[in-house]
Amino acid sequence: MEKLGRNDMCWCGSGKKYKNCHMALDEKIHHYALQGHIVPTHDILKTPEQIQGIRDSSVINIAVLDEVAKMIKPGVSTEEIDRLVYDVTTRMGGIPAPLNYEGFPKSVCTSIDEVVCHGIPSPERILKEGEIVNVDVSTIYKGYFSDSSRMFCIGEVSEEKKKLVQVTKECVELGLEQVKPWNFLGDMAQVINDHAKANGYSVVVDIGGHGVGLEFHEEPFVSYVTRKGTEMLMVPGMVFTIEPMVNMGTCEVYIDDEDGWTVYTEDGKPSAQWEITVAVTETGHEVLTY
Ligand SMILES: [Zn+2]
């Protein structure tokens, strides 16, 4: 952290003097750093204006998922979902963040059953009764990024899969309860991992969540398998995703070596994921995308 004088302008761009703005917060963060904790750098902390930008972007993200919810059913191709996501996003003035991201060819990820994440929509992939699908939508609006995903059960789904989808949602809700200033990302991770394990499931270790807002994927990496009291300190202004990938079987995954994107469970058993974008506030948290 740079050394600012009490009467200097605050680093955040508010135009206020440091002593009247972020000084007390910085001193508190510094105190945690001295104890050996991982603490956020200034560029991780969003200003109220930036959070408003992410909130506006999130409105589109949620609207897109609501539209997907209306049309997703047996017989629909994942390509049709992709087209809808592109159309709704652009009609509302946004850009689908996945499109051309590091070469990703589509506007959305559609991950079915044993696909953990990053499934690529295709006209050949028709949704069938009994499948569970994660639709992961990410939006850029006026330069701000939002990110969320939902699970959809296609027609009648087995009790086994229904439970996986439900428990994964509960994992996100339990994790969210841990999001407040001066908690740690590990506090959230532990309740998520514990709840998944208590139900006989595993949480993917190799892929996690991320900071989001000014970029698609920002620091910090957010794990859902770490322990209470570890990982980065939560500080007001942080914005990140809660998106555990919960597997019915092993937590081991592999990437399709032909398309370079699709992530599968090693044992071929189903995987589920829900994702929200959340901001740490002065008093707790604000869910930006539900
Ligand atoms: Zn400030």
Count the neighbouring beta carbons within 10 Å of the beta carbon of residue 218. 18
Q: Distance from the CA of 220 to the center of ligand 1, in angstroms?
A: 21
Q: Which residue type does 89 have?
A: T
Residue 2 has a pLDDT of: 57
Buried b / exposed e over 55-83, threshold 16 CB at 10 Å, is bbbbbbbbbbbebbeeebeeebbbbbbbb
Please answer whether residues 137 and 99 qualify as being in contact, where contact means their C-beta atoms are separated by less than 8 angstroms.
Answer: no
Q: Distance from the CA of 122 to the center of ligand 1, in angstroms?
A: 47
Q: Distance from the CA of 110 to the center of ligand 1, in angstroms?
A: 40
Enumerate residue ranges in the chain where pLDDT < 70: 1-2
| Half-sphere CA count of 159, side-chain side, radius 13 A | 0
Count the neighbouring beta carbons within 10 Å of the beta carbon of residue 143. 12
- pTM of this structure: 0.95
CA–CA separation, 211 and 221 (whole Å): 7
Across the chain, what does the average pLDDT equal?
97
Q: Distance from the CA of 14 to the center of ligand 1, in angstroms?
A: 6
State the sign of the Cα–Cα–Cα–Cα dihedral 117, 208, 144, 285: positive
CA–CA separation, 283 and 261 (whole Å): 38
Residue 3 has a pLDDT of: 76
Q: Distance from the CA of 173 to the center of ligand 1, in angstroms?
A: 31
Q: Distance from the CA of 192 to the center of ligand 1, in angstroms?
A: 33
